[in-house]
């Protein structure tokens, strides 16, 4: 793990936002968390689309986990295995603390999960919830 101060152009890292408030005048207020779930600050997105915010500490004290090849997936993505052409639809998607993305074609907790590595998104379908 590294710190926000060490981030270079092109680096990718995970950060979680939790919506703390929604107001018609001030906009959306989010609490920010690092990949290890540490609270790191707040962010406000005004109705006009401007961002303002404050870190809870200095950038060298904000832990981040660098990720490579981050490929966001979403439920309903049609995925094809590179090389074999096998095709499945993602019904669950997760991002682990190490930055790896996993998905499953099953909604059951005991279903098989796959790393996003080696799969490409070829389409999207809307699934009934």
Convert the pLDDT of each residue in 111-120 to its tens digit.
788 998 899 9
Q: How confident is the model at residue 64 (pLDDT cuts 50, 70, 90)?
A: confident
Q: How confident is the model at residue 69 (pLDDT cuts 50, 70, 90)?
A: low
Q: Are 79 and 122 in contact (CB under 8 A)?
A: yes
C-alpha distance from residue 83 to each of 17, 76, 87, 118, 119 (Å): 36, 21, 11, 8, 9
């Amino acid at each position: 793990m590294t710190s926000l101060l060490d981030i270079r152009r092109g680096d990718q890292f995970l950060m979680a936002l939790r919506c703390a408030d929604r107001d018609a005048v001030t906009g959306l207020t989010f609490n920010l968390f690092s990949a290890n779930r540490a609270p790191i600050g707040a962010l406000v997105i005004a109705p006009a689309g401007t961002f303002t915010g404050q870190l809870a500490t200095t950038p060298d004290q904000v832990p981040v986990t660098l990720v490579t090849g981050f490929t966001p997936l979403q439920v309903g993505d049609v995925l094809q295995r590179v090389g074999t052409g096998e095709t499945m639809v993602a019904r669950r998607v997760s991002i682990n603390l190490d930055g790896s993305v996993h998905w499953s074609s099953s909604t059951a907790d005991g279903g098989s999960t796959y790393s996003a590595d080696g799969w490409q998104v070829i389409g999207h379908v809307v699934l009934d919830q």
